Amino acid sequence: MLENLTAQPADKILALMAAYRADPRDTKVDLGVGVYKDASGNTPVMRAVKEAERRIVADQSTKAYTGLAGDPAFGDAMIDLLLGDTIARDRIAAVATPGGTGAIRQALELIKMAAPDATVWLSDPTWPNHPSIIKYLGMASKTYRYFDTDTRNVDFDAMMADLGGVAAGDVVLLHGCCHNPTGANLTLEQWDKVIALLQAKSATPFIDIAYQGFGDGLDADAAATRKVVAAFDECLVAASCSKNFGIYRERTGILMAVSKTADMQPLTQQTLQFLNRQNYSFPPDHGARVVTTILTDPDLRADWEAELEETRNGMLALRKQLADELRRLSNSDRFDFLADHRGMFSQLGTTPEMVEKLRADHGIYMVGDSRMNIAGLNEKTVPILAKAIIDAGI
């Protein structure tokens, strides 16, 4: 049996990490893996997370299963954080998942079950796991243009033109905030136009939101998702707690499915639980319990929000420092887009050959599509990166 296996494509980011570790240069800079790092290059455990874990360890009396959907309190806390009072709670089915990736996988499984002929539309570019999972599941997909490599901003006219080809019943995957890999986001006015188009097409929106709180703040980053949820009878939302709670290895995510009416919610909820059972049965609980403890305790929540703001503002400061340094070195404003982008990532909009030149000549490691993790920088490495970009002729 096993001799029939064929090698699968290597994960480019994992290969990049290995190459970085093997590089002996002291000036090397890792901008590949999508993990937040502080000024010391560490990915710290947030204060509120440490305190929540201390309480959980002290008070927890069992490790018995929670339920196929996970602890209901986690679902309630996350729905409140992301959606607030946008729609009635009794329309929302929700299940805990192993990270945001698990939420996306379960959402795609749900689409495949409920609308097997639907085409899933993805932004070009998008997070590589989106098309990878869709291909593995044998689902139909198409792309819509999103990023203009000349302006390094959203190519909105091209996006709307491509979405004009969406058919009734298709699913359109949209990044809720802090677009990965580009860092370029739609304005709220542009979101309104996308919503109107998808309504006219009778399409179903599917929001992937992994960076709430990393862009313009918790509520501002949720604003587009809330607009979408309020505008449609049905939609899907996959959310991750990895970044904004810093609990990457705890694999904590949630899938929300909005039904047209409260009467339809129980069937949707039962189906989501069925899909969990077929995949991993009961979802992991520790990270979800940490998140629930923080979000339901006023003091812990206030401390978490304060530290999240420190993180967000730190990334914005790095963006401005990099844009300013590139403006100084290039004597032009062509890199100002870096200060306007939001979240952990920005895409330089250059070629894979230039990305390889940055790695070979300067020890700058970023993904081949020129996505770089801004959170991988610090005050000392920003000038190194800026000089490398100019010296490479980008």
Catalytic residue numbers, as ranges: 127, 208, 210, 243
SS3 percent helix, strand, coil of the chain, rounded to 5, is 50, 15, 35
Query: Of 241, 245, 239, 162, which is closest to residue 203 (Cα–Cα)?
Result: 162
Q: How far apart are CA 194 and CA 173, in angstroms?
A: 12
Q: What is the pTM of this model?
A: 0.95
Domains and CATH numbers, the chain: 10-44+309-391 (3.90.1150.10), 65-296 (3.40.640.10)
Give me the residue label for tokens 């980008």: 394
User: Cα 394 vs. chain centroid, distance in angstroms?
Assistant: 27
**Per-residue model confidence as pLDDT tens for the chain (394 residues):** 999 999 988 787 888 888 899 999 998 999 988 889 888 888 999 999 999 999 999 999 999 999 999 999 999 999 999 999 999 999 999 999 999 999 999 999 999 999 999 999 999 999 999 999 999 999 999 999 999 999 999 999 999 999 999 999 999 999 999 999 999 999 999 999 999 999 999 999 999 999 999 999 999 999 999 999 999 999 999 999 999 999 999 999 999 999 999 999 999 999 999 999 999 999 999 999 999 999 999 999 999 999 999 999 999 999 999 999 999 999 999 999 999 999 999 999 999 999 999 999 999 999 999 999 999 999 999 999 999 999 999 8
Q: How far apart are CA 135 and CA 154, in angstroms?
A: 26
